[in-house]
Amino acid sequence: MPRTKEQFEVMRKGSRQRILDAALEVFAKQRYHSATVGSIAKTAGISKGLMYNYFKSKEDMLNELMIGMMENLMCEFMPLKPDRKFTQDDIVNFINVGIDLVLEKPYYWKLYFSVFVQPDVMAMVYDKMMEAGKPYMEGLTEYFRSKGEANPEFMMRYFAAVMDGIQLHCMLDPKSFPAETVKKLLIRQFV
């Protein structure tokens, strides 16, 4: 009995996701250039050849992975409806989760930062990132305005930059970086 088109479609989705999961894992352990297509295939439990039914190339895989990851991160980072106004608690949460996530999923963040330094990848992801991030940036700006900041847009950018700096250092030295103390300081400063 031949499978229906829907069944095939589901199978494809499943395989695709399994490959992406494997790719994330392998890229996490070895970097993009050291990670071989072979090892990704083995981790995914399929043959090298089959991967090329799902992805045009190794680079294609990386890009798909990054785009998916951005969305994923955004979701966990700010599990709020973007149309609601940010309260002080949201910002506190933003700070806490922002730092905790680095410790929990370091590889996601390594990928995140590595986007910044790869102009070509950056170009691909930039638009999607901006689009996804916009509501949050606007929400933050609004928040700082409501706090009475003279230049709320500036504060938003400053806050974003500081968060990235903290996350970067936290990622580079998760063992000894004083994450908890930094959280308190950030909350005192921005909330």
Interaction of residue 38 with DNA, rule CB under 7 A: yes
- The piece of 36-44, 131-139, 150-158, 177-185 that touches DNA (CB under 7 A) is 36-44
17 binds DNA (CB under 7 A): no
Binding-residue total with DNA (CB under 7 A)? 26
Neighbours of 53 (CB within 10 A): 11
For 70-83, give one letter per residue: b (16+ CB within 10 A) or e: beebbeeebebeee
| Nearer CB in complex with DNA: 89/120 | 120
Does 110 participate in binding a second copy (rule CB under 8 A)? yes
| 146 counts as binding DNA under rule CB under 7 A | no
Minimal distance in Å, beta carbon 116 to DNA? Answer: 20
Report the Cα 74 to chain-centroid distance in Å.
6
Structure tokens at 59: 């680079």
Q: Does 15 bind DNA (CB under 7 A)?
A: yes
* C-beta of residue 102 within 8 angstroms of C-beta of residue 171: yes
Number of residues near a second copy (by CB under 8 A)? 36
In 11-59, the DSSP E strands lie at none
